[in-house]
Structure 1
């Protein structure tokens, strides 16, 4: 009986070890491809690419003026873009400030359908009407949040991607306030490494980047064809998944232009924000996995497979804790020697963990953040706070109550210190 018990334990350990190893090695393998940058292509002429720039705002009077000023300062012909601020169910002076800074305030009131996704869907309907009335056509729409600041080269870099034939693009996301406290340092470290080892790596090998909720650019053709039906709590992830499913094309990544996004200063604010993200993530995973799997079975390809893996990939902290747990167990393997080489082999886990951590540390160096490398430990400590969020989010995945993240860091672009 004892030998059967050993084999039962071995089977369970092999199963969980295989899952953990697959996700860890899969992501590490792709991440290694983000260690290099392709030689930059020469920027293509904008070819009079015209943009409607959307800023999504709900009671953002403290920061929205700076966002408008940042977009007004773009190094791009002013007659080729217009700034529309979606003043969504605002009860403050957001709309007045928008007009004072030279943008177009589009005021929406609908207390029953609140959230960024609904606001964007409404704004697109208004935009298509304006196009007909004013005989003006936009080639693409870019979406920003009210707390964002942008680098002046943004539309030039995006235009080059559009001219290459891409129709959905994500721009590099950076932190506007990384030095405020240990929480913002953790956010910044996580974004820097993710941009390198996830987004750039996939750009390098022709896989899809993930939309980041802001700094997203989409061609008018795509939006007119499909509309904006992505009204989940993570409309960015939902749109990415639908785009890959229905167009069999990837989201392109721009590593050479940045958007600066405000990170939460308080844990309770961060907790609410991340709980919303994870609820939306699990909601998308449960709704779209079957469709992705069917598509994959009909037409096996790495693009679809990678999106499916992402939807069900354990969070970084669960992956790290799982790997650490197996690594520690491997040092004191309680199983018979006969199967010890196949289950909890210390050589496997030592090599896996070393490579896993090395990739993220090298990413700091390549992103020219060597002086901030100790922030990796802030990021690791912060990642532990994901542990209670994940099971709660899975249980509440069908709940779609939108919660607004309040922004208070009113900064100009030149005041950002990285």
Structure 2
């Protein structure tokens, strides 16, 4: 009897997490859309970028930011160098494109501390938050600023796309991000998204909160604080930052463990996120973030329950067979990389890896208090 209850409760929770919640926000976006009132003003913007030993990419990134389609006198850049032991600060100081302010710190303090100082040094009405690695499309800033002409919008987020994601493990990473993008766009269209990509988002400077020292997920903490202040967080699909996908699971594991462990940290730093009413996007936060952290343990319980009940009814046999097929697709993606281009294999591989990382992330958070040092 216990195994039957576990099977069905877990099946419902997993179904809601990965199918039900996305279907819910997609339906809300269609039935009760909240369009953004875009404009064409050009307020002053300060680009904020924190760097740790980014000399190999910084010059190209500054060139990229200088090429943005925005009036030269309305855009400046603040670069915060977090304990860099390379030439990052010298490269930023020597740059002759857009106006650049350089903040240099001898010791590594983490991104959050640098962000707070960089925002304090900013002068623009709006902040454009970027990372050093990604290439931003020329029209991205204009698109984000247009969204912020709507007085109800506090954060406008761009989208992350991957260059050459067709083969190997990169195909699985790309499959995950396409799924994530659908959910974020639906959340945005029906009200607010609950997180953004730190690679590209714009926020009103007056709404930018003080980020607690050591925060890993500033790109979730900041939007949730803006939401709490009564403003929307929207996603602008055409504002694009291009990134390089992980081409093997080891590389992706490092990125995802830090991000997923950051979700555990986030709840400890801002427990109000767990309180309905205090968190205006409580259902979205729990559905999109917390249930995914619980997912690997739900899958384990589902597998045990399915195996123990397989001899009792065909539906449990079907569930056990489905899990076996899923495992076979994951193995296939690993031993025959070209197969990863097939959609079922890509989806299975992405789902498996994200859940393995989510399971490991809890222990990473418990055991590594230096996650903020990137």
TM range (shorter): 0.7 to 0.9
Q: Which residue of 2 aligns with 1:391?
A: 359
Query: Which has the higher mean CA deviation after the structures are superposed, 88-97 or 72-81?
Result: 88-97
Distance in 1 between the 2:145 and 2:301 partners? 42
Which residue of 1 is the match for residue 337 of structure 2?
none
Secondary structure (helix, strand or coil) at the match of 1:251 reads strand
Map 1:187-202; keep pairs closer than 5 Å.
187-196=173-182, 198-202=183-187
Alignment pair present for 1:401 and 2:342:
no
The TM-score with structure 2 as length reference comes to 0.79
Aligned to 1:311: 289
Tell me how far apart the structure 1 counterparts of residues 202 and 248 of structure 2 sit (CA, whole Å).
Answer: 30
How far apart, CA to CA, are the structure 1 residues paired with 2:34 and 2:218? 32
Spell out the pairing of 1:250-269 with structure 2 (5 A cutoff). 250-269=232-251
Deviations 1:120-168 (A, max 9, x none): 11212333xxxxxxxxx41111111111211111122111111112111
Find the counterpart in structure 2 of residue 171 from structure 1. 158
Q: CA deviation at 1:239?
A: 2.3
**Does the 8 A contact of 1:232 with 1:280 survive in 2?**
yes
Taking a change above 3 Å as real, the CA distance of residues 96 and 264 of structure 1, as seen in their structure-2 partners, is: farther
SS of the residue 2:225 aligns to: helix
Would the alpha carbon gap of residues 206 and 229 (structure 1) be closer, same or farther in structure 2, given more than 3 Å must change? same
User: For the Cα contact (< 8 Å) 2:136–2:240, is it kept in 1?
Assistant: yes
Aligned partners of 2:88, 2:296: CA distance in 1, in Å? 40
Root-mean-square deviation (CA), in Å? Answer: 3.7
C-alpha deviation, 1:101, in angstroms? 5.1
**What is the DSSP-based 3-state SS (H/G/I as helix, E as strand, rest coil) of the residue aligned with 2:291?**
coil
Distance 1:102 1:389 in 2: 41
1:50 equivalent to 2:37? Answer no
CA contact (8 A) 2:48 2:78 kept: yes
Instruction: State the shift of 1:219 in Å.
Output: 0.4
Residue 169 of structure 2 corresponds to which residue in structure 1?
Answer: 183
Offset at 1:186? Answer: 2.4
SS in 2 for 1:163: coil
2:10 to 13, 16, 22: 16
**2:334 maps to which residue?**
none
Counterpart secondary structure, 1:158: helix
| Corresponding residue of 1:294 | 275
Q: Using the alignment, how far apart are the partners of 2:137 and 2:294 within structure 1?
A: 29
Structure 2 alignment gaps of length 5 or more = 323-339
Contact persistence 1:20–1:319 (CA under 8 A): no
Task: Report Cα offsets for 1:211-259 as digits up to 9, x if no partner.
Answer: 2222121101112xx3233642222122233333x31433111112101
What do the CA deviations read for 1:256-308 (whole angstroms, capped 9, x no partner)? Answer: 2101123334433322221111111122234545x234343x79x6x322113
Number of the residue aligned with 1:121: 116
Tell me the residue number matched to 1:102.
97
Cα contact 2:3–2:305 (8 A) shared by 1: no
The answer to whether the 8 A contact 2:37-2:150 is kept is no
Which structure has the bigger radius of gyration? 1
3-state SS, counterpart of residue 63 of structure 1: helix
Matching of residue 162 in structure 1 with residue 160 in structure 2: no
DSSP-derived class of the 2:365 partner? coil
Name the count of aligned residue pairs.
Answer: 351
- CA distance, structure 1, for counterparts of residue 59 and residue 316 of structure 2: 56
Would you say the 8 A contact 1:138–1:220 is kept in 2?
Answer: yes
C-alpha distance in 2 between matches for 1:316 and 1:187: 20
Unaligned stretches of 5+ in structure 1?
1-6, 128-136, 351-371, 406-418
Choose which of 211, 231, 234 in structure 1 pairs with 2:217: 234
> Closer, same or farther in 2 for the Cα pair 1:160/1:126, shift >3 Å?
closer
CA contact (8 A) 2:223 2:233 kept: yes
The 1:311/1:230 distance shift into structure 2, 3 A limit, reads farther
